[in-house]
Amino acid sequence: MSMDMGSLYSDIILEHNQNLENKHELDHCTVSEHGHNPSCGDDLTLQADIENGIIKDAAYTGHGCAISQASADIMVDLMKGKSVKEALRLIDLFLSMIKREVTDDDKLEELEDAIALKNISNMPARVKCAVLAWHTLKEALERENNK
């Protein structure tokens, strides 16, 4: 594992880590899911307000490292206004990027700022930080889909 810290803790990641706009409880939500990395203590709760299959609003609360917080913030930005189906597809695309199954930047473009987390795949110890929010939302949305 060799990695330049500047490309991991890039401005985009540091900005999203410090951005608190998506870090709060929703006044009204239809789904809420708790995600936890027991080995490191990262802990977050994701909320979404879904109406007619569209994610009208989403937010998260909790605590964790810069990677987990930035990842959650980026994801919430990306998901607002998307349909549940579309959101699930983007989550899978993100997880495929982390697993290096999809590496083509053109295909990853629709992940927007989340592409900044691409390099985390070089750091096995930190992958779980990056994917926590996405796995948590996936679980919530799949339950919503099965209703």
CB of 33 to other proteins, least distance (A): 20
User: Which contacts (CB < 8 Å, 24+ apart) does range 7-10 have?
Assistant: 7/119, 8/67, 8/119, 8/120, 8/123, 8/126, 9/66, 10/116
The encoded tokens of residue 16 equal 């999203």
Check residue 12 for interaction with other proteins (CB under 8 A).
no
Please state at what angle helix 66-79 crosses helix 127-145, rounded to 10 degrees: 30
Piece of the chain touching other proteins by CB under 8 A; list 1-9, 73-81, 90-98, 100-108: 1-9
Binders in 58-97 for other proteins, by CB under 8 A: 63-69
Is the Cβ of residue 20 or residue 125 nearer to other proteins in the bound state? 125
Give the Cα-Cα-Cα angle 103, 108, 114 (nearest 5 degrees).
110
Check residue 39 for interaction with other proteins (CB under 8 A).
yes
Query: Which residues in this chain contact other proteins in the complex, by CB under 8 A?
Result: 1-6, 8-9, 14, 39-43, 63-69, 123, 125-126, 129
